[in-house]
Amino acid sequence: MQSPRISRRTFLKMAGLGTFSLLFSGSIRKVLGVPKPKRYRLGEIGGKDLQLTREVRGVCGYCSVGCGIIFYRAGDKVIHLEGDPDNPLNEGKLCSKGEASLELFGQHNPRRLRTPLIRVNPKPPAEELKKVKTQDELRAILDKYKPIWRPATWDEAFRYIAERMREILDEVGWDPRKEDGYYHLGKKFPLWIEAGAKLTNEEAYIIKKIATMLGSYNIDHDARRCHSTTVAGLAGTVGFGAQTQSFIDTQFISTYLIFGGNPAENHPVSMRHTLKGKERGTLKLVVVDPRYNRTASQADVFAFFRPGSDLAFLLYILHYAFWERNPPVDQLDTFKEFVTRFNVDLEEIKEFKEITKDYTAEEVSRITGIPVDKLRKIAELYVENSGVTTNFKRFGSIQWAMGQTQHHVGTQITRLSTLVQLTLGNMGFPGGGLNPYRGHSNVQGTTDMCILSHILPGYIKQPSNPLQIRVYQDWKNQGFPDAWHWEIPDWAGSSFGPNERGKVNSTKVLWSWWFQNWRRFELTWGIFVGTDPESDPKNGTVISDFPFGKGYTENTWWQGVLFDDVLKAAIIMAENIAVSDGDAITTYIALASLKLLVVVDLWEAETATFADVLLPGAFQYEKYGSITNSNRWVQWQDRVVPPAGDAKPDLWIMLKLWDYFKSYGIVRLPSQIYGKREEKVSIKNPNTGEMVELYERKIEPFMDYATGRFADPDYAYADPELIYKEIDLAVDLYNGMYDWVDGKILAKRRKPLLRTESDIDGILDREFLMYKDWAWTWPKNVRILYDLWTLSKTLGRTFQFTFTPGEYSVGDTLNGKTVSITGETGEIRDAKSGKWRPAFIPGHNFVVGKMYKRLWSGMTDLLTGAVTAKDLLWYGKVVGKFVIFSGESHTVTTYEDLGIKCPLCESFYYDEDVINVGKANYKKPYFKGTKDYKGKKIKYVGFYDWKKVRDKFSEEFRSLAKSLGIREAVKSMKEKYGEWYAYPNPSNSGEILAWDMRYPIHYEPVESPDFELATKYPAMAWRRAENYRFLEPPKGFEHLKDTVTMIPEDMSPPEGAEVVVVTTNRMTEHFHTGQLTRNVPLLAELVPEPFAEIPKPLADKLGIKPGDIVEVGNKRNVIYVRAMVTHRVPKLSVNGKEVYVINLPWHWGWAGAHSTYAVVNTITDVYMDVVTTMQETKAFLAYVRKAPIEKYDYRAKEENLPGIRP
Amino acid sequence: MGEMAIAFNVDNCIFCRACQVACHVWNNTRPQVTEFSPTLTNPPDLLPNVWMVMEAKEVVEGDEFHWLFLKRQCMHCSEAPCAKACPVNAIEIHPEGAVVIREDKCTGCRFCIEACPYDVPKYDESSEKVYKCTFCIDRIQNGLEPACVAACPTDALVFGDYDELVNRYRSQGFEVYGDSVNDYVGRTHYIYVTRKFKGKLTDPKYFGERLKKDPRKASVQVGTNVVEPVGWGLIGLTLLAAAGHFIYWRAKRIEEKSESEGEKGGE
């Protein structure tokens, strides 16, 4: 199954051999009298002297594959790079972007920022920007207010920022003193922080820590706009929001459905592994996409489909499986066995099956534009090569990226993909799964560290009210128990799960998981969350250094500025939202309205146009830190060279900002204002209620990383390895990535070898090329998520492990037992023995990462306690006290006495009980319960009830839309029934039934090309208040209402134009907002200018020739780009109507090289996902027509190009 | 190392263009400031500073649509008409198959450009020399794969022993272009292989514009350094160059000797 690997060392030896034989053959030629051709030094032609270089290893900073790069440094100059041949992810290979990364370094790139800058001229005024309707008008304003900067020192810049922040805080009266306790409301903090997915894990963790300690949840990042719907859809259905397979594992897939992604262009090196399967003839590649893209060029089956019809396509696959196939999949024993393993309720499947019935091939063909026979062919190929139809020998897998996510129902689409995989048994095996490929090099990591407005690092709930803090304090007093040992007090009510000790359900297990993580944050951050006094959780004063609630998101923040008047300042690090925000002109208005905008970037990018302060940051290669790739491998980046000039890594900037904020009185922690300096950590004797004090913990906010261990001064002040260790202790998801026994950073592990069969997960490692000793993967070094059965089902084997009695810190269910392992367990350092042991027993079910038992429940604090965070982190010092109760008495002992070798390893264990808790959610209602409206009761209902009124709802909507127009029809119905997607119950006049969205059904995009479809499957957007504001905008923003063009008839296109469906895309040669590629001449050579892909028949119809300028516009803006006339975008037949699709790559903006004011996102929309607020940028309407060349404002501006010849 | 080949497997290419960038990075050639390309191929032709270009082409035939990707660079012909045309022996044919212009010897006469049936060598006005792909001679002589091959993520480019590669692809049912093209170019050390587009490699509708069935330049009749059309003046030059070469060769030998000794020391 595997080929022998040439290690780098062997490779170099071979190099020596080659040289020898060459000399030999050369001498023969000499004897023969032929002039001997020249012998060259390595690198001679390019003038590179590679003899004197030092190798530095790193991870590619563009996409999320995680390719290893070796940089060759001569002195302080980086002169060459090659792919790292040892790294199993790329095996020495790189794509065009990775190869070109050399030009990102300041030495090669004159455009990199080198010094802090403060603006001296006025910013573009919001009132002027509000009037912009065309690219020309935008250019006129931005040219007029082009920033003028003066260079500043870092100290000056930090003072400037802190002074203004202090003023703003005082203006809003920022204070944690509330009537019912001491806490902040996280959505009220006036500073908006955006911190990009290019940051390292350590930086991401620190920025979220800083925001939280400032009292703010107004922090978010790119992940909101790229995969927030993936995380919500997946986590809400099967537990984790991540890719379940690895890139390497894609070669074992039988049918790979590329639906909503384009890996050949956006993750080129991932195709290396996928194509291995194709080459072996075991993998069929199926691409369904609005474009015939580079991935499609490799497809066995390809189908064009209409952007925004994703749900219908996926529903048809299940229609085929449930209704066309004989026997239907739900009658297969393998199906029953599989869903049982996920603890799925069979009633749910019945209801869901009913939904798929209506999505026949004919109906879905009308919606998607895919011909009926092709639909059937794809569904058959996919279903017949799935786990449940092949007795778990072959698997289908679904790959996606923004194609599925960027819709106002993105969560429904990714959830449906998950349901397809659940139904077909395609998850939790090598070769099968869910593969949402991430975009940025570390967007998985920055998401895991939760630079997000709604969760704490590791996907931990943020508290929302004082009651939760009281229950938490009570939980602490019970000795930090797991769910099985926790007794929820009666006064807590029912929302935490069953009260009784020993009785658990998934709610209770989750709460105890959240509480354990809250405790980890308390210990490592030096903060306090609880009551004073600690012994009276029910009546004591609530003090919470965690703010309450959820903040604005990256798609709603502008409403926080413009509509709600909450956000008055912003710090934007490593993001360029002026190019990447949907409906970007609205973003410009919001940016221009801020009192203070600080931008930290590598370049003077588009967003800096609106900034007051511009700070020079560093790129990934100029940093130390860990990076998590898309398949969750945490790898280490070493600094290749420091950034040029006075630029600094973001970590340094963040920690400096914290210092300045602190000295300017901006940090106002509730515990400090209350005067809580110490926490009494006690455990209640369950038999007597007596509180036994364990130790006193000092409350001292911890942000001191100046260990001086690094030679570089910036990292001497901000030690990333210390933060790495803190993450291991603070964030359960990443626990295990530091080896506390050997003191090793496992992200630095670079062993490109497979394990032996007797090692933990050794059989799987060998059979499926997992490379478990390369880097580290969450959770607990598990490479394939949810792998419970591969050993037993696919390979027909098991692995035995014996928990020698008393040796391991595990409970009775494991202690002394020999367990039979059937899947991938991952590994964990045992607290007692300090040895490695399997983590998840008997394999990795989908819940076990989040749910576990704790042997030390009721005996000691987490990590056995820490007097101060600094003691814990700097010196590894724990309290180490245990209390052992026996009846009314107790004894206090220490970890040494108990023979515990590694208290920091904690005593978590996972057994079969854990697997039996929690279930996958076929059904997940996003709206629950009832509410009153004008004397009637709105009741959120499931499909059986909704079906009774569904057709009446859409009939009334259609008839209203015919007379009033579609926009007014939405308003009218919402007004009438108090909710969108609601209709009176015919059998109960006092009741209005509203669809609770428990299963995915098809919804048209907000901007649909067909009236009939738009009214038969109305968009769901209007359920969400932020979207409804487009229909009823606040005063002063009436223009937003006109931008909503729901069907072509709303468009009023100019003469000679055609209304089309538009989709947006990235391409191989460029990256996101283009700053990292337009400023790289090697990549700009390949694709210099902005363009639209236009179907050949449409071009012929409109008289557009290749290279012509085209105008693409709607009521949001009008832009001008080149025409790429091609057969690779389609003319479709949708509901019997001709529909053209055009594609716009969105990499261009007005700043840097290869610039234009034609920012694609000024014509996209920001209708938000009902669950996560994801914007709908993948399907909207615009018109297109030919335009005169004068309208085109592209400039190349290339200067100082590197290269010595010619 | 014997006679080598680089195989471009048409079927595996995903047009990521890592090769084109890697070529620039290794050889330190200046990136070109280009314009919009309606096909994505960019720059549209080889240049003195762009030694390889990935070409993309859309083909519609009935209901079938293909998006074709083809790598274009020097073919490294065994009969290397360019080398034969070079009056100053500046183009060397290496035993591995590489056909390399010696930058130090090139006089910019451009006869090679006239002789090349694949339109590969390009003249640079500023340095008054001709440039093209070197088969990464300074990598392969030192035991490394050519830069484009080393970069290629999907193994669409493979470097290996000539006969072994040709035989392997043939036995796996691939059509191979290059191992015996015609008398004018001989065999090319860049070979092109496909299973997906069998029979279409030399079809002008597909790849044939580049992978010519019978590549030759009929108008140019250059033999082995024929001096007739050039005149006697050049004979002098050639002799001079030969003398120069001898001196160079001597110097080089000494250098090589010490270098191989150095290598031993390094081991």
Domain co-membership, A1072 together with A1185: yes
Helix (H) or strand (E) holding A209: helix A201-214
Distances in Å between the alpha carbon of A128 and those of A144, A590, A1035, A1064, B23? 11, 12, 16, 28, 48
Average of pLDDT values for A761-784? 97
Of A238-242, A1131-1135, B138-142, B206-210, minimum mean pLDDT range: A238-242
- Residues of chain A positioned with their CB less than 8 A from the CB of B103: 1205
Residue A636's DSSP bridge partners are A626
Task: Decide if A1085 and B141 are in contact by the 8 Å CB cutoff.
Answer: no
Helix (H) or strand (E) holding A226: helix A223-226
A176 domain residue, yes or no: no
Structure tokens at B123: 């003249």
According to the model, what pLDDT value does residue B219 have?
A: 58
A849 touches A733 (CB < 8 A): yes
ipTM, interface predicted TM-score of the complex? 0.94
A29 domain residue, yes or no: yes
Q: Which CATH class is domain B1-230?
A: alpha beta
Q: CATH number of the domain that A1055 lies in?
A: 2.40.40.20
According to the model, what pLDDT value does residue B1 have?
A: 76
According to the model, what pLDDT value does residue A845 have?
A: 85
A 999-1058 residues inside an 8 A Cβ radius of B? none
Whether pLDDT at A507 is above 50: yes
Number of other residues whose CB lies within 10 A of the CB of residue A1143: 24
Structure tokens at A344: 């799925």
More confident residue, A994 or A76: A994
Helix (H, G, I), strand (E, B), or coil: what is residue B14?
coil
Domain co-membership, A992 together with A1069: no
Helix (H) or strand (E) holding A1095: strand A1091-1095
Structure tokens at A774: 């390369």
Measured between CB atoms, does A24 come within 8 Å of chain B?
no
According to the model, what pLDDT value does residue B256 have?
A: 41
Domain boundary among A104, A119, A140: A104
Query: Is the four-CA dihedral A570, A576, A578, A584 of positive or negative sign?
Result: negative
**Shortest distance, CA A989 to any CA of chain B (angstroms):** 57
Q: What percent of chain A has pLDDT over 70?
A: 97
**Shortest distance, CA A1050 to any CA of chain B (angstroms):** 32
Helix (H) or strand (E) holding A96: helix A96-100
B107 touches B88 (CB < 8 A): yes
Compute, in degrees rounded to 10, the torsion defined by CA atoms A663, A666, A671, A673.
90
| Closest Cα in chain B to A280 | B172
Domain co-membership, A1072 together with A1147: yes
Closest by Cβ to A38, choosing from B12, B92, B129: B92
Whether pLDDT at B171 is above 90: yes
pLDDT averaged over chain A? 94
Domain co-membership, A979 together with A1112: no
Helix (H) or strand (E) holding A1186: strand A1180-1187
Average of pLDDT values for B72-84? 97
Q: Which residue has 């119950």 as its token pair?
A: A985
According to the model, what pLDDT value does residue A1202 have?
A: 54
Determine if residue B49 is left, alpha or beta; phi over 0 gives left, psi from -120 to 50 gives alpha, anything else beta: alpha
CA distance B118 to A549: 68
Task: Decide if B141 and A1201 are in contact by the 8 Å CB cutoff.
Answer: no
CA distance A375 to A379: 6
- Angle, nearest 10°, between helix axes A310-319 and A372-384? 60
Contacts of A747 (CB under 8 A, 6+ apart): A626, A634, A635, A636, A724, A737, A775, A776
Q: How does pLDDT run across A641-684, given as a tens digit for each residue?
A: 999 999 999 999 999 999 999 999 999 999 999 999 999 999 99
Compute, in degrees rounded to 10, the torsion defined by CA atoms B4, B9, B13, B16.
10
Q: CATH number of the domain that A19 lies in?
A: 2.20.25.90
Task: Decide if A25 and B260 are in contact by the 8 Å CB cutoff.
Answer: no
- Angle, nearest 10°, between helix axes A201-214 and A720-730? 70
Measured between CB atoms, does A303 come within 8 Å of chain B?
no
According to the model, what pLDDT value does residue A919 have?
A: 85
Distances in Å between the alpha carbon of A142 and those of A147, A490, A524, A585? 9, 61, 46, 12
Give the mutation candidate from B47, B125, B142 for the A interface (greatest A CB count, under 10 A): B142
Instruction: Find, among A538, A728, A704, A661, the residue nearest to A211 by Cα.
Output: A661
Measured between CB atoms, does A1070 come within 8 Å of chain B?
no
- Residues of chain A positioned with their CB less than 8 A from the CB of B206: none
Structure tokens at A427: 């998850």
- Residues of chain A positioned with their CB less than 8 A from the CB of B139: 42
Tally of residues, chain A:
1206
A221 touches A205 (CB < 8 A): no
CA distance B184 to B191: 16
B149 touches B158 (CB < 8 A): yes
Going by their DSSP bridges, the two strands A460-461 and A455-456 should be labelled as: antiparallel
Closest by Cβ to B152, choosing from A25, A93, A1068: A93
Domain boundary among A43, A71, A104: A104
Name the band, by pLDDT with cuts 50, 70 and 90, for residue B223. very low
Identify the burial level of A497 via C-beta atoms within 10 angstroms of its C-beta, where 0-12 means exposed, 13-18 middle and 19 or more buried: buried
Give the mutation candidate from A3, A6, A280, A297 for the B interface (greatest B CB count, under 10 A): A297
Residue contacts between A and B (CB atoms, under 8 Å): 230
Task: Decide if B29 and A1089 are in contact by the 8 Å CB cutoff.
Answer: no
Q: How does pLDDT run across A246-295, given as a tens digit for each residue?
A: 999 999 999 999 999 999 999 999 999 999 999 999 999 999 999 999 99
How many separate domains does chain A show?
3
Closest by Cβ to B65, choosing from A41, A92, A1127: A1127
Structure tokens at A1159: 């920012």
Measured between CB atoms, does A29 come within 8 Å of chain B?
yes
According to the model, what pLDDT value does residue A32 have?
A: 47
- Residues of chain B positioned with their CB less than 8 A from the CB of A8: none
Identify the burial level of A443 via C-beta atoms within 10 angstroms of its C-beta, where 0-12 means exposed, 13-18 middle and 19 or more buried: buried
Whether pLDDT at A1179 is above 70: yes
Closest by Cβ to B34, choosing from A83, A271, A1088: A1088
A158 touches A657 (CB < 8 A): yes
Contacts of A793 (CB under 8 A, 6+ apart): A391, A392, A429, A822
Distances in Å between the alpha carbon of A421 and those of A375, A409, B93? 18, 19, 57
Residue A983, phi then psi, degrees to nearest 5: -155, 145
According to the model, what pLDDT value does residue A847 have?
A: 78
CA distance A1156 to A1120: 9
CA distance A514 to A862: 13
Residue B101's DSSP bridge partners are B91
**Shortest distance, CA B181 to any CA of chain A (angstroms):** 25
Average of pLDDT values for A785-807? 94
Give residue B87's identity as a one-letter amino acid code.
P
Whether pLDDT at B254 is above 90: no
Domain ranges of chain B: 1-230, 231-267
Q: How does pLDDT run across A1053-1078, given as a tens digit for each residue?
A: 999 999 999 999 999 999 999 999 99
- Residues of chain B positioned with their CB less than 8 A from the CB of A1083: 21
Identify the burial level of A1041 via C-beta atoms within 10 angstroms of its C-beta, where 0-12 means exposed, 13-18 middle and 19 or more buried: middle
According to the model, what pLDDT value does residue A1199 have?
A: 64
Q: How does pLDDT run across A838-893, given as a tens digit for each residue?
A: 999 999 988 778 889 999 999 999 999 999 999 999 999 999 999 999 999 999 99
Task: Decide if B138 and A275 are in contact by the 8 Å CB cutoff.
Answer: no
- Residues of chain B positioned with their CB less than 8 A from the CB of A1077: none
A210 domain residue, yes or no: no
Distances in Å between the alpha carbon of B169 and those of A234, A699, A937, B187? 43, 70, 72, 16
Structure tokens at A162: 């802190």
Structure tokens at A175: 């204070």
A1042 domain residue, yes or no: no
Q: How does pLDDT run across A1099-1122, given as a tens digit for each residue?
A: 999 999 999 999 999 999 999 999
Domain co-membership, A1057 together with A1126: yes
Number of other residues whose CB lies within 10 A of the CB of residue A1063: 25
- Residues of chain A positioned with their CB less than 8 A from the CB of B50: 1085
- Residues of chain A positioned with their CB less than 8 A from the CB of B60: 1127
Closest by Cβ to A42, choosing from B33, B127, B138: B138
More confident residue, A1161 or B233: A1161
According to the model, what pLDDT value does residue A342 have?
A: 87
Domain co-membership, A963 together with A1072: no
Closest by Cβ to B134, choosing from A19, A35, A45: A45
Measured between CB atoms, does A16 come within 8 Å of chain B?
yes
Q: Within its chain, how far is the Cα of A999 from the centroid?
A: 23
Q: What is the CA radius of gyration of chain B?
A: 19
Q: How does pLDDT run across A3-39, given as a tens digit for each residue?
A: 334 444 333 434 433 333 333 343 443 444 557 899 9
Domain boundary among A78, A104, A130: A104
Instruction: Find, among A201, A239, A205, A241, the residue nearest to A456 by Cα.
Output: A205
Whether pLDDT at A810 is above 90: yes
A455 domain residue, yes or no: no
According to the model, what pLDDT value does residue B220 have?
A: 55
Structural domain harbouring A35: 8-104
A18 domain residue, yes or no: yes
According to the model, what pLDDT value does residue A44 have?
A: 95
